[in-house]
């Protein structure tokens, strides 16, 4: 394999590997603050083969700006189904969910980052890194595109490369070891629109340890299954689900299949060691996903904001150890209840158990719990929150003279 010569080395403050939501958001944040950024993704087109349904919860679309046309019609009704197709309907007075048009969103964030000066290298794969002996804490990153290796000099490597992060392994940071898998088909409506709803199905066969879903905002409809990979075949389960449960609810004549999406979703809680002096992890690479709901989009935005603070401090002070303030330990408490509930879901193996679970949720305290799970205005811990541990981290970044 050919490689560029050392005198031609390009140099960036930060090299971000992965242009999913976490990498894109961080690229925009950093470049807007004057940090020079190279964003790298192995995909040619960042809007293709998207790795999410794209359901954003209320707190996310209330707290962050979304470009026009990047969110579908709000959904405020949820229907939960038991294995025997008993129904529990929940309605919120507020818009609770919006399905992202992820290609529109990703392209818009990339355009912003480019405007702020970030460079984007598509169709290029992270191929490892070594410490740069000529720069304190710096690295030489190897990126391979069409058989040619590019060596790039950087102060910080940011791993935004998803659940099986190669950057995490390369930097010797923690890696995800617990996950479920999700697989879905996306349909658009050829005629008119339907009432926006989120249908969630409890089922040992279709969704062992998670749910099957129909997320329908009237124009776009996502039909999917998720669960522990050792307990089902997602592709076979999805075909059966579409032909049975989904067929009872949707008029297939009105729907045109446009794509399928799928992948692993980390559910072990945020990893502890997500930074060293050479780099850090964000998004799925950091395990920043709710172990209960498997929602990872809000954490992509909030944890990336936190990471950006640490990277800005690192580049302004030239003190590599500032990055060590960015640690998963400080979020541990926030994940403990959800991890217990996740362990409970793993315990459910048979439909009769899900039926009991559904009956419990249909009782009046159960409905309160269900409303809390679906409608609570919650999110990944905010960086600016008053939690004393996170405050200390931000203060130590401030003390480094960076903000």
Ligand X SMILES: Cc1cc2nc3c(=O)[nH]c(=O)nc-3n(C[C@H](O)[C@H](O)[C@H](O)COP(=O)(O)OP(=O)(O)OC[C@H]3O[C@@H](n4cnc5c(N)ncnc54)[C@H](O)[C@@H]3O)c2cc1C
Q: Is 110 in the site for ligand X (CB under 6 A)?
A: no
User: Does 319 help bind ligand X (rule: CB under 6 A)?
Assistant: no
**What minimum distance in Å lies between the beta carbon of 283 and ligand X?**
2
Strand pairing partners for 180? 265
Position with the least CB separation from ligand X: 296
The reply on whether position 262 binds ligand X by CB under 6 A is yes
Q: How far is the CB of 160 from ligand X (least distance, A)?
A: 5
How many residues in the chain? 403
Q: Which window, 61-69, 82-90, 287-295, 366-374, contacts ligand X (CB under 6 A)?
A: 287-295
Q: Are 148 and 135 in contact (CB under 8 A)?
A: no
Among 16, 118, 265, 311, binds ligand X (CB under 6 A): 265
Q: Which stretch binds ligand X (CB under 6 A): 50-58, 86-94, 146-154, 249-257?
A: 50-58
Query: Going along 65-124, which residue ranges are E strands?
Result: 77-81, 87-91, 97-99, 119-121
Out of 245, 261, 273, 314, point to the residue binding ligand X (CB under 6 A).
Answer: 261
Which of 13, 96, 174, 184 lies at the binding interface for ligand X (CB under 6 A)? Answer: 184
Q: Which is nearer to ligand X, 27 or 400 (CB)?
A: 27
Residues 6 or more apart from 246 whose CB is under 8 A from it? 214, 223
Phi, psi of 188 (to 5 degrees): -115, 155
| Inter-axis angle of helices 297-317 and 388-399, nearest 10 | 30
- Can you tell me the distance from the alpha carbon of 33 to that of 35, in angstroms, rounded to the nearest whole number? 6
Could you tell me where the DSSP H helices lie in 188-317? 234-243, 245-249, 297-317
- Which residues, 6 or more positions from 193, have their beta carbon under 8 angstroms from its beta carbon? 73, 218, 219
Listed ranges 145-153, 204-212, 261-269, 382-390: which one lies at the site for ligand X (CB under 6 A): 261-269
User: Segment contacting ligand X (CB under 6 A): 78-86, 259-267, 335-343, 356-364?
Assistant: 259-267
Binding of residue 28 to ligand X (CB under 6 A): no
Residue with tokens 């999410």: 52
DSSP state of 53: -
54/328 with CB nearer ligand X: 54
Asked if 37 touches ligand X (CB under 6 A), the answer is: no
Residue of 22, 35, 80, 275 interacting with ligand X (CB under 6 A)? 22
C-alpha to C-alpha distance for 350 and 208, rounded to whole angstroms: 8
Q: How far apart are CA 189 and CA 218, in angstroms?
A: 8
Q: Does 291 bind ligand X (CB under 6 A)?
A: no
Interface positions with ligand X (CB under 6 A): 17-23, 40-43, 51-55, 125-126, 160-162, 166, 182, 184, 261-263, 265, 283-285, 289, 294-297, 300
């Amino acid at each position: 394999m050919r490689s560029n010569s050392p005198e031609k080395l390009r140099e960036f403050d930060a090299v971000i590997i992965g242009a999913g939501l976490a990498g894109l958001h961080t690229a925009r944040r950093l470049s807007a603050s004057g940090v020079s950024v190279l964003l790298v993704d192995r995909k040619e087109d960042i809007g293709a083969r998207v790795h999410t349904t794209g359901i954003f919860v209320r707190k996310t679309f209330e707290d962050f700006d979304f470009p026009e046309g990047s969110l579908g019609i709000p959904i405020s009704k949820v229907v939960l189904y038991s294995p025997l197709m008993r129904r529990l309907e929940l309605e919120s007075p507020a818009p609770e969910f919006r399905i992202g048009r992820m290609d529109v969103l990703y392209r818009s964030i990339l355009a912003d980052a480019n405007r702020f000066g970030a460079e984007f290298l598509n169709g290029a794969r992270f191929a490892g890194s070594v410490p740069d002996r000529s720069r304190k804490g710096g690295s030489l990153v190897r990126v391979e595109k069409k058989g040619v290796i590019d060596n790039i000099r950087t102060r910080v490597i940011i791993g935004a490369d998803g659940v099986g992060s190669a950057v995490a392994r390369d930097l010797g940071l923690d890696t995800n070891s617990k996950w479920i898998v999700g697989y879905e088909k996306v349909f658009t409506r050829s005629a008119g629109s339907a009432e926006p709803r989120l249908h969630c199905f409890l089922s040992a066969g279709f969704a062992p340890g998670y749910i099957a879903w129909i997320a329908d905002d009237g124009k776009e409809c996502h039909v999917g299954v998720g669960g522990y990979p050792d307990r089902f075949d997602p592709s076979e389960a999805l075909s059966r689900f579409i032909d049975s449960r989904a067929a009872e609810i949707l008029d297939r004549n009105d729907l045109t299949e446009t794509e399928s999406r799928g992948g692993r979703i980390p559910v072990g809680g945020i990893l502890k060691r997500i930074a060293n002096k050479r780099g850090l992890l964000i998004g799925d690479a950091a395990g920043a996903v709710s172990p209960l709901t498997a929602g990872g989009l809000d954490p992509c935005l909030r944890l990336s904001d936190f990471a950006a603070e640490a990277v800005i401090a690192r580049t302004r002070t030239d003190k590599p150890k500032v990055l060590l303030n960015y640690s998963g330990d400080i979020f541990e408490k926030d994940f403990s209840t959800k991890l217990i509930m996740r362990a409970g879901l793993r315990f459910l193996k048979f439909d009769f158990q899900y039926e009991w679970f559904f009956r419990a949720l249909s009782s009046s305290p159960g409905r309160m719990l269900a409303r809390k799970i679906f409608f609570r205005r919650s999110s990944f811990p905010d960086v600016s929150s008053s939690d004393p541990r996170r405050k200390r981290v931000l203060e130590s970044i401030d003390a480094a003279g960076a903000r």
